[in-house]
């Protein structure tokens, strides 16, 4: 960074910059500027000049920080905070203005002059860049229009003009078009779709609408082009196509690079539209098919197997729980056949019948009891865990170990050996 000039030279540079920027305040004289710099933030003129420079800078570039005008309740410390944030966002190279105690940054005259010099020179640079940008955009637009007019002259067979002025070229083009139209039939070109001229406001609104449509269609074209790339890539997955990758790329890549995601429709297409553009042509009509027919249309696909998926053909899932049945009369207690028929019971039958279904049985009967008990446990486990999940969760033996011996005895009829056998 270059060293700062002496105080007198710095003041002259500030005055020259303020005059070039169009400042009309009271600090255009050297004496008033020195006095305001000595007083610092306590000087209203110095404060107003800082606010004016910062507002001009903020209007030319997108900045978050700003220096606001002084209010009645606004103190010097809050103003110093605003200046520090503004200078830090602008990447001020003077460390004395953005570091140290905030109350001591603008106490010296030299620091105040540094602040004014930095803000004024930055504003000058921003205005120069902005003017160059505006001139460049106007020149670019002028060149674009000139190229379009020159293309019209080439299409009409007019000689190239050495002048870059557009109005004389348009006059020559208009005269040439009138001469050509006088030699053709009246309805050869057709009537224009727009019957009324457009004013500047309507043209601006149409350009905004066209920009929105171009953005929308650009997104759609990018999606279609990506689908095209993926489809061509999937063709190369087969074994027969893997050996022809270079041939596919040599044929496909030139056609692919010719596609552009940006739309080429402009406002000029609307102005040149004829009445026949409003007629909707079917894509299957003869005139349209002349431009869209290709060899792939003659390729017939074979019979494709039915993959199903119709909701009416889907079978319902199997029930997760067994259907519940109504409880039968008589309960679960087994009743003696003699009692059913009303015959007298022998001695001990009533007592044995109350002990359970499988009481006083032989070993073969006990084995059948165990089999029946296993079946009951399996059914119970299916009810608890579900039909499909039961075999995967635990075995019948593991489930039996978790049941107390007394509960096993209720099914078997004995409370000793059979329950121990199960465990």
153 part of a folded domain: no
314 part of a folded domain: no
174 part of a folded domain: no
User: Which range is least confidently modeled, 35-39, 85-89, 369-373, 406-410?
Assistant: 406-410
Do 98 and 215 reside in the same domain of the chain? no
- Take residue 219 and report the two structure tokens written for it: 């997104």
Q: Of the residues 244, 278, 312, which one is the last residue of a structural domain?
A: 278
Beta bridge partners of 192: 274
Do 125 and 206 reside in the same domain of the chain? no
Total tally of structural domains belonging to the chain: 3
Do 356 and 271 reside in the same domain of the chain? no
Phi and psi for 188 in degrees, rounded to 5?
-70, -45
pLDDT at 341: 52
Do 46 and 127 reside in the same domain of the chain? yes
pLDDT at 65: 79
Q: Of the residues 90, 105, 133, which one is the last residue of a structural domain?
A: 133
312 part of a folded domain: no
Q: Which contacts (CB < 8 Å, 24+ apart) does range 94-103 have?
A: 94/118, 102/77, 103/77
Q: In this model, does residue 314 exceed pLDDT 70?
A: yes
181 part of a folded domain: no
Model confidence pLDDT, tens digit, residues 12-55: 888 888 888 888 888 888 888 888 888 887 888 888 888 888 88
Q: How far is Cα 183 from Cα 277, in angstroms, rounded to an integer? A: 24
Average pLDDT for the chain: 75
Phi and psi for 80 in degrees, rounded to 5?
-65, -35
Q: Find the domain containing 397 and state its range.
A: 348-422
Mean pLDDT to the nearest integer, 177-193: 83
Do 117 and 204 reside in the same domain of the chain? no
Most confident of 73-77, 87-91, 414-418: 87-91
Q: How far is Cα 143 from Cα 166, in angstroms, rounded to an integer? A: 10
Q: Of the residues 256, 278, 300, which one is the last residue of a structural domain?
A: 278
pLDDT at 227: 95
Q: In this model, does residue 386 exceed pLDDT 90?
A: no
Mean pLDDT to the nearest integer, 307-317: 81
Q: How far is Cα 404 from Cα 397, in angstroms, rounded to an integer? A: 13
pLDDT at 326: 61
Residue-by-residue DSSP string for 287-349 = HHHHHH--GGGGPPP-PPPP----GGGPPPPPPSSPPP-PPPTTTT----HHHHHTPPPPTTH
83 part of a folded domain: yes
Q: Which contacts (CB < 8 Å, 24+ apart) does range 380-384 have?
A: 382/322, 383/321, 383/322
160 part of a folded domain: no
Q: What percent of the chain has pLDDT over 70?
A: 69
Q: How far is Cα 142 from Cα 164, in angstroms, rounded to an integer? A: 9
Query: Alpha-carbon torsion 147, 148, 154, 159, what sign?
Result: negative
pLDDT at 417: 44
The alpha-carbon radius of gyration of the chain (Å, integer) is 48
Q: How far is Cα 291 from Cα 118, in angstroms, rounded to an integer? A: 65
What length is written for the chain? 423
Do 127 and 237 reside in the same domain of the chain? no
CB 381 within 8 A of CB 390: yes
Model confidence pLDDT, tens digit, residues 77-114: 787 888 888 888 888 888 888 888 877 778 888 888 88
Helix (H, G, I), strand (E, B) or coil at 68: coil
246 part of a folded domain: yes
């Amino acid at each position: 960074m270059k060293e700062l000039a002496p105080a007198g030279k710095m003041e002259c540079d500030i005055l020259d910059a303020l005059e070039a920027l169009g400042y009309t305040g009271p600090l255009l004289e050297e004496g008033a500027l020195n006095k305001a710099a000595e007083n610092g933030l306590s000087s209203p003129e110095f404060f107003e000049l800082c606010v004016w420079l910062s507002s001009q800078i903020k209007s030319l570039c997108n900045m978050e920080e700003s220096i606001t005008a002084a209010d009645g309740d606004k103190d010097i410390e809050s103003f110093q905070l605003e200046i520090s944030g503004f200078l830090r966002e602008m990447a001020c190279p003077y460390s004395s203005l953005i570091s140290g105690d905030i109350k001591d940054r603008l106490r010296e005259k030299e620091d105040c002059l540094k602040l004014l010099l930095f803000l004024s020179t930055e504003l000058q640079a921003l205005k120069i860049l902005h003017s160059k940008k505006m001139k460049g955009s106007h020149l670019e637009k002028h060149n674009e229009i000139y190229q379009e007019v020159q293309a019209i002259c080439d299409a009409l067979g007019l000689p190239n003009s050495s002048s870059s002025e557009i109005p004389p070229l348009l006059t020559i083009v208009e005269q040439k078009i009138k001469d050509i139209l006088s030699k053709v039939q009246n309805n050869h070109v057709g009537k224009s779709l727009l019957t009324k001229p457009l004013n500047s406001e309507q043209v601006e609104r149409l350009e905004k609408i066209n920009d929105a449509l171009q953005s929308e269609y650009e997104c759609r074209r990018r999606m279609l082009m990506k689908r095209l790339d993926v489809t061509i890539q999937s063709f190369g997955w087969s074994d027969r196509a893997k050996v022809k990758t270079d041939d596919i790329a040599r044929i496909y890549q030139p056609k692919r690079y010719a596609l552009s995601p940006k739309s080429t429709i402009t406002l000029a297409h609307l102005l040149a539209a004829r009445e026949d553009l409003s007629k909707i042509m079917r894509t299957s009509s003869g005139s349209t098919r002349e431009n869209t027919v290709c060899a792939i249309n003659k390729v017939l696909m074979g019979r494709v197997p039915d993959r199903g998926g119709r909701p009416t053909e889907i079978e319902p899932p199997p029930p997760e729980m067994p259907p519940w049945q109504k409880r039968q009369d008589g309960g679960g207690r087994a009743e003696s056949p003699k009692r059913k028929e009303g015959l007298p019971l022998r001695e001990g039958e009533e007592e044995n019948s109350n002990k359970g279904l499988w009481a006083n049985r032989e070993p073969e009967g006990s084995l059948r009891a165990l089999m029946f008990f296993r079946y009951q446990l399996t059914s119970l486990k299916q009810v608890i865990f579900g039909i499909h999940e039961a075999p995967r969760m635990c075995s019948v033996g593991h489930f039996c170990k978790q049941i107390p011996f007394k509960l096993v005895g209720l099914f078997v009829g004995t409370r000793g050996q059979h329950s121990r056998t199960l465990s």
